[in-house]
């Protein structure tokens, strides 16, 4: 019986060792300097109390192995989850190597034997930089006694700690994105930043890249010296006008940790150094960007400012619906570029459809390669009559930076069959053909002839036959004629949708301005500028009878010129649109600028009402 129990325990132990999970990974510094010693750590993690029987390095070239891998750290942990006991064991093996030549090299995987199995680690890529070409730097690395004096000098030298603003491109097109990076270079320890003030990027729309909370320090050569560098801020910028635009300098206060200078040093000073914090004010140099205008030749009518590389897909919820049922056309634009600034492509629904504002969902992510993402637009409309209708192809144009030309993407044409539905009272909805929408037929007559004949009317001496008697009939008849003419005129005007939109343009704009004033008083800047854009674009759409999806600054200017609007007034409208669009994405503007924009918009709309009268 004892032999049976011992055999069972032995089998369970063997099964546990064979079933244990083992991970083996390597880690080291990514950048080192020629002649610099650095460590490679090999971490072995198992689910049991097991160490490696042997650990063998790969064929390491371009590095001298100073110390073979030795066990430097080990530990174990046990946890109980839902009554199940699990344990893990971690061992760290460290070796020391030194780089011989500069370049980028691969350290092959190491192998570790655990039990009867052999495991391999991951390979490492290490960049080896040339040694500093400055004698002072060499002295700093080799002499600990001079370190305090050298670092104290570094704290006050512009060559030992500074910030550079790097731009990925110095010459771009309008709305072409480029990367701006603020990078710190230092030969001393950095304790932190204070009073950081980045430029406002005037003339650009910016989208910041999320760098996380932990700032990574890397080694990087610059002007013959190897600096520790850190990226402080990265932003993708989109220029909004052509010409030369200067990005102002960024300003930073850096707290540098320097070794305290002592006149008399002893043996223990080399082991127990003291440091002081020295505050330095740094400033990056401004950079000028040459912004080229987009080519005027070959520009499609459907182009609305998209620059980059895009694809487009579209779909419709159904090709067969009933009257009063919703029709949804979904358009998805994805790619890289100024996705947030893309205007919605125009979807032309038949005139008998009731059209609603589109629903837009924009998803973007800013990376060092630019801004990528997608924009999904849902267009909703309701057909009021039965018949066969066509929704033409949807066109989207953009400027392709790779080829330097304009490209246009098209969706398919949708054929829509609308069946006769029922109205709210249960009666059948009228049937209208999309090819004869202007034809109107009388279905019946309500007035019939009055029977005529010779009749004798009784004449009284008191009222009948008098002047007041005839006025009693003439005045109502005249009122009826006048009211009938007014009613017919209103009916004709109401039938003219363009005229109705033109007349109510000022009224709708006034309502939106009241909403904008509310946001102004509450200091909701983003909502205020968004409402101001809706006010101006909506007013121009109603006044000029142009669908909002088809509005561009160019066709608005052309229509206003056609109506004889003064050039100064046209420029006022353009300035208001530019200011509002820029303020939506640019850094926050002051309340004074918001108030000035609000009153300027009211004045410009009043002038337009006096200029264009319909």
Q: How confident is the model at residue 50 (pLDDT cuts 50, 70, 90)?
A: low
**pLDDT confidence of residue 149:** 44
**pLDDT confidence of residue 590:** 60
- Return d(Cα 562, Cα 225) in angstroms, integer: 65
Exposure string over 351-366, b if 16+ CB within 10 A, otherwise e: ebbebeebeeeeeeeb
- 3.40.50.2300, 2.60.40.680, 1.10.540.10, 3.40.640.10: which CATH number matches 20-129? 2.60.40.680
pLDDT digits (tens, 9 = 90+) for 63-75: 888 888 888 887 7
Percent of the chain, pLDDT > 70?
Answer: 76
User: Which of 286-290, 374-378, 441-445, 603-607 is predicted least confidently?
Assistant: 441-445
Q: Beta strands of 352-420 (E only): which ranges?
A: 353-355, 359-367, 370-383, 387-391, 395-400, 405-410, 414-419
User: Which of 80-84, 468-472, 533-537 is predicted least confidently?
Assistant: 80-84
Q: Is the pLDDT of residue 475 over 90?
A: no
CA distances from residue 468 to 75, 464, 471, 473, 475 in whole angstroms, order as listed = 118, 9, 5, 9, 10
- Do domains 20-129 and 135-292 share one topology? The answer is yes
CA distances from residue 494 to 357, 469, 541 in whole angstroms, order as listed = 22, 38, 18
- Return d(Cα 250, Cα 200) in angstroms, integer: 9
Most confident of 144-153, 229-238, 415-424, 605-614: 229-238
Class of domain 135-292: mainly beta
The two three-digit tokens of residue 255, written as one number? 């707290």
Q: Is the pLDDT of residue 488 over 80?
A: no
Q: 303-419: what fold? A: Immunoglobulin-like (2.60.40)
Q: Is the pLDDT of residue 174 over 80?
A: yes
Which residue, among 565, 561, 562, 536, has the nearest Cα to 551 in the 3D structure? 536
Q: How far apart are the first and last CA of the chain?
A: 110
Whole-model pTM: value is: 0.56
Which residue, among 575, 545, 582, 547, has the nearest Cα to 560 in the 3D structure? 545
Q: How confident is the model at residue 49 (pLDDT cuts 50, 70, 90)?
A: low
Compute the C-alpha angle 592/598/604, nearest 5°: 130
- Return d(Cα 314, Cα 412) in angstroms, integer: 8
Question: Which comes out higher in pLDDT, residue 530 or 82?
Answer: 530
- Are the beta carbons of 275 and 257 closer than 8 angstroms? yes
Exposure string over 142-166, b if 16+ CB within 10 A, otherwise e: eeeeebbebbbbbbeeeebbbbebe
Q: 497-611: what fold? A: 1.20.120
340 in helix, strand or coil?
helix
Which residue, among 102, 97, 105, has the nearest Cα to 128 in the 3D structure? 102
- Return d(Cα 389, Cα 387) in angstroms, integer: 6
User: By CB neighbour count within 10 A (0-12 exposed, 13-18 middle, 19+ buried), where does 285 fall?
Assistant: exposed
Which residue, among 193, 187, 205, 190, has the nearest Cα to 245 in the 3D structure? 205
- Return d(Cα 186, Cα 573) in angstroms, integer: 49
Question: Cα 376 to the chain's mean position, in Å?
Answer: 13
- Are the beta carbons of 239 and 245 closer than 8 angstroms? yes
**pLDDT confidence of residue 452:** 59
Q: What contacts 422, CB < 8 A, 6 or more positions away?
A: 428, 429
Which residue, among 26, 9, 27, has the nearest Cα to 17 in the 3D structure? 9
What residue ranges do the domains of the chain occupy? 20-129, 135-292, 303-419, 497-611
């Amino acid at each position: 019986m004892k032999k049976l129990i011992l055999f069972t325990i032995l089998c369970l132990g063997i099964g546990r060792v064979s079933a244990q999970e083992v991970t083996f990974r390597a880690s080291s510094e990514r950048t080192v300097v020629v002649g610099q010693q650095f460590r490679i750590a090999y971490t072995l993690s198992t689910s049991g109390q097991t160490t490696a029987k042997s650990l063998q390095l790969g064929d390491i070239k371009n590095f001298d192995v100073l110390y073979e891998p030795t066990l430097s750290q080990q530990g174990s942990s046990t946890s109980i989850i839902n009554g199940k006991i699990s344990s893990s064991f971690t061992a760290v093996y460290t070796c020391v190597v030194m780089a011989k030549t500069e370049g980028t090299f691969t350290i092959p995987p190491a192998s570790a034997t655990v039990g009867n199995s052999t495991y391999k680690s991951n390979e490492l890529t290490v960049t080896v930089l040339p040694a500093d070409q400055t004698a002072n730097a060499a002295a700093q690395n080799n002499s600990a006694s001079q370190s305090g004096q050298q670092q104290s000098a570094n704290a006050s030298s512009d060559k030992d700690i500074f910030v550079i603003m790097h731009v990925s491109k110095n010459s771009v097109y309008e709305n072409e994105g480029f990367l701006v990076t603020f990078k710190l270079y230092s030969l001393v320890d950095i304790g932190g930043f204070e009073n950081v003030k980045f430029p406002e990027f005037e003339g650009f729309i910016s989208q910041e890249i999320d760098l996380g909370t932990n700032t990574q320090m890397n080694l990087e050569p610059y002007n013959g010296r190897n600096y520790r560098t850190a990226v402080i801020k990265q932003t993708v910028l989109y220029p909004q006008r052509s010409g030369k635009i200067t990005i102002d300098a960024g300003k930073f206060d850096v707290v540098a940790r320097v070794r305290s200078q002592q006149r008399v040093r002893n043996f223990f000073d080399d082991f127990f150094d003291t440091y002081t914090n020295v505050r330095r004010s740094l400033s990056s140099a401004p950079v000028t960007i040459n912004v080229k205008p987009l080519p005027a030749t070959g520009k499609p009518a459907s182009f609305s400012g998209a620059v980059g590389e895009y694809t487009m897909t579209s779909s419709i919820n159904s090709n067969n619906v009933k009257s009063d049922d919703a029709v949804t056309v979904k358009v998805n634009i994805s790619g890289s570029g100024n996705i947030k600034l893309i205007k919605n492509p125009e979807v032309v629904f038949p005139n008998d459809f009731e059209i609603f504002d589109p629903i837009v969902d924009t998803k973007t992510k800013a990376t060092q390669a630019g801004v990528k993402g997608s924009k999904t637009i849902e267009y909703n409309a309701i057909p009021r009559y039965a018949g066969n209708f066509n929704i033409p192809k949807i066109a989207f144009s953009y400027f392709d930076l790779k080829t330097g030309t304009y490209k246009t993407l098209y969706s398919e044409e949708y054929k829509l069959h609308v069946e006769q539905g029922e109205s709210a009272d249960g009666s059948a909805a009228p049937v209208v053909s999309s090819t004869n929408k202007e034809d109107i037929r009388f279905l019946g007559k309500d007035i019939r002839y009055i029977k005529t004949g010779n009749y004798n009317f009784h004449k009284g001496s008191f009222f009948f036959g008098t002047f007041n008697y005839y006025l009693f009939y003439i005045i109502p008849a005249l009122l009826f004629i006048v009211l009938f003419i007014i009613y017919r005129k209103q009916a004709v005007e109401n039938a003219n949708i363009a005229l109705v939109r033109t007349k109510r343009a000022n009224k709708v704009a006034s309502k939106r301005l009241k909403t904008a004033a509310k946001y102004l008083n509450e200091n909701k800047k983003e909502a205020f500028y968004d409402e101001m854009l809706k006010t101006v674009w909506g007013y121009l759409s109603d006044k000029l009878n142009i669908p909002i999806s088809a509005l561009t600054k160019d066709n608005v200017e052309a229509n206003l010129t056609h109506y004889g609007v003064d050039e100064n007034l046209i420029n006022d409208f353009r300035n208001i649109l530019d200011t509002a669009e820029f303020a939506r994405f640019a850094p926050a503007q002051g309340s004074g600028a918001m108030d000035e924009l609000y009153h300027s918009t009211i004045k410009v709309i009043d002038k337009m009402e006096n200029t264009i009268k319909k």
